[in-house]
Amino acid sequence: KAGVTQTPRYLIKTRGQQVTLSCSPISGHRSVSWYQQTPGQGLQFLFEYFSETQRNKGNFPGRFSGRQFSNSRSEMNVSTLELGDSALYLCASSLTTGGAGNTGELFFGEGSRLTVL
């Protein structure tokens, strides 16, 4: 079956602009999580959406936001971009969110590499 699809794969923005990244989870998966990967901070959790509701959020400023649609596709938005937002943004999907029966296994996409100039 098709894996997690992230678009765009690469993009370049300038400081102050905003960006929207898209993630299509594996068919049937209802949970979508977002992670930021940078050389300095490593992999950091941004947020998780399940059934169109944000159920968990990492320690990131309000400039980072997201949403999930009824078909489980998710978007994340970063406003007023800063140089430090340059990163690989990884989306991961899972069948369900935490709780009974959830193995916790996440299926990751190849990421969207954002460069802020």
Partner 1 sequence: AQKVTQAQTEISVVEKEDVTLDCVYETRDTTYYLFWYKQPPSGELVFLIRRNSFDEQNEISGRYSWNFQKSTSSFNFTITASQVVDSAVYFCALRDPGYALNFGKGTSLLVTP
Give the SS3 label for residue 99.
coil
Cβ distance 111 to 10 under 8 Å?
no
Q: In terms of CB distance, is 14 or 102 closer to partner 1?
A: 102
Could you tell me how many residues of this chain bind partner 1 (CB under 8 A)?
Answer: 28
Cβ distance 69 to 22 under 8 Å?
no
Q: Closest approach of Cβ 16 to partner 1, in Å? A: 27
Q: Closest approach of Cβ 93 to partner 1, in Å? A: 12
Query: Does 42 help bind partner 1 (rule: CB under 8 A)?
Result: yes
Tokens found for residue 21? 């990244």
Residue span binding partner 1 (CB under 8 A) among the ranges 20-28, 67-75, 78-86, 96-104? 96-104
Q: Which residues contact 43 (CB under 8 A, 6 or more apart)?
A: 35, 36, 37, 90
Tokens found for residue 49? 């959406």
Query: Does 27 help bind partner 1 (rule: CB under 8 A)?
Result: no
Residue span binding partner 1 (CB under 8 A) among the ranges 13-21, 38-46, 65-73, 76-84? 38-46
Give the SS3 label for residue 84.
helix
Q: Give contact residues for partner 1 (rule: CB under 8 A).
A: 3-4, 33, 35, 42-45, 48, 55-56, 58, 88, 90, 92, 97-98, 102-111, 113
